Amino acid sequence: MPPRYLRRASPTRLKHCQERTFEACETASTDQCCGVIPCKLCIEFQTSYDTYQSSATFGSSSWTGTLNSISFVAFWERSASDVCEFVVYFGGYEVYRASCYDGASCRNPSGEASVTVGTESGTLSWSVYEPRELELIDDPDTGCRDFFCGSCRCSCECICVKITEYGGRVIRGELCDIAYDCDPPTWAGVVGYYDLSFTLGRDRYGECIITPSVDGDELDSVAAGGCGSMSASITTAGGDLIEISCKQCVCEQAEQDVCIPCPPGTIYPWAVSVTFTELGISADSGNQFDEDQDGETIFNYPVEGDYGGYTIQANFGECDASVAISLGGVSICTFSGSTGSGLSMEAVDCPGDTLTLIYTITCENGSTLTVVISG
């Protein structure tokens, strides 16, 4: 009979996909503090303007990673009074130290701390990365217990989705598993305009495959190697490329998304209405790049003047905005930047239909301003 911590029904069993063990006499790894630890931590740094996410992987004696180009290091050590403590360094400075009596845990050392590094202040948090464990199966040919597919004991709870439309626009999202633990994972949901579903399976050779469904239509299965880092891609009938990969703490973006509010060649109207949702006011505007007032493929919509008691100086362009709003001489919102740095932009409707653009702005004071441009 296997040790208790390896038995499937044991609540303290070793989680093969996310944990590793150490011998009791081993001192280098955790200073003899822990026999079982997680292999990877998900780390997050939330400031007033942005949220940065990454991961830290255990090496020989610590979890290390980078977050917004700031180093993260965590480890276990014994204090001078021989008490085991979990310690976190961020940007080269100690920001957290806790013993088991303070709530630290070898198998789940999750926690958070308020930190300031340079000019960045916010909340640093870390948690255990939990892959999706796959059930073993009975091999149909031999009757022996075998991996679900390939040599995989692990997959992922969520997948990252990247859709590159035929016209070049890129849409990103993520889908999470909706299946029972004892069933193969199925990642399903809506990304962009698509209702998607991806189910992990096993081909006749025992290798991993994924069967996709797009808007209810099941497509041919595709190979999906890599287990906990598996990936696959499909092309829709309309020529859009859909790429998926296992989410490991964060959906990594190897390249900066190109911000394209509407498909290339879209003609933006000259006259629009600009609504500041939280302020309850609207203003008319005209495209500065459209001198002939007959439509243009680029735009910049300005708003300047007094509206409902507010003094506004603002410009809204493709993937950027600048805003200065005051009331009675008191600043309400100040912002200047592009998408990804305190600004998100969504094209709800694009001409040939009416134009509807939504800007969500994080002001310098931490408040949020929603601006809707329609025309």
> What is the tens place of the pLDDT at every residue in 340-370?
778 888 888 888 778 999 999 988 888 889 9
> 146 and 242: one domain?
yes
Task: For 320-345, write each residue's pLDDT tens digit.
Answer: 889 999 998 899 999 988 787 788 88
| Assigned token pair, 100 | 């088991």
> 9 and 122: one domain?
yes
Residue-number span of the structural domain to which 30 is assigned:
4-128
Number of domains present in the structure of the chain? 3
The beta strands (E) that lie in 287-351 are given as: 300-307, 310-317, 320-327, 330-338, 343-349
What pLDDT, on the 0 to 100 scale, is given for residue 258?
Answer: 55
> 172 and 156: one domain?
yes
> 52 and 119: one domain?
yes
Confidence of residue 10 (pLDDT cuts 50, 70, 90): low
User: pLDDT over 70 for what percent of the chain?
Assistant: 92
* Mean pLDDT score, 178-204: 91
> 107 and 151: one domain?
no
* Mean pLDDT score, 370-375: 93
What pLDDT, on the 0 to 100 scale, is given for residue 167?
Answer: 66
What pLDDT, on the 0 to 100 scale, is given for residue 11?
Answer: 58
- At 273, the amino acid letter reads S
* Mean pLDDT score, 68-96: 93
- Say yes or no to pLDDT of 7 above 60: no
- Say yes or no to pLDDT of 26 above 80: no
User: pLDDT over 90 for what percent of the chain?
Assistant: 53
- At 81, the amino acid letter reads S
**Domain final residue, candidates 246, 281, 309:** 246
CA distances (Å), origin 199, targets 21, 223, 246, 340: 32, 12, 13, 32
- Say yes or no to pLDDT of 6 above 60: no
* Mean pLDDT score, 195-206: 93
> 12 and 124: one domain?
yes
| 252 falls within a domain | no
- Mean residue pLDDT across the chain: 87
- Say yes or no to pLDDT of 131 above 80: yes
Confidence of residue 196 (pLDDT cuts 50, 70, 90): very high
> 145 and 124: one domain?
no
| 261 falls within a domain | no
CA distances (Å), origin 294, targets 92, 260, 269, 270, 274: 57, 21, 7, 7, 19
**Domain final residue, candidates 78, 113, 128:** 128
| 262 falls within a domain | no
* Mean pLDDT score, 194-216: 93
- Say yes or no to pLDDT of 28 above 60: yes
Cα four-point dihedral sign 139, 144, 145, 150 = negative
DSSP label at residue 5: G
- At 312, the amino acid letter reads I
> 141 and 227: one domain?
yes
What pLDDT, on the 0 to 100 scale, is given for residue 255?
Answer: 47
> 82 and 63: one domain?
yes
> 14 and 121: one domain?
yes
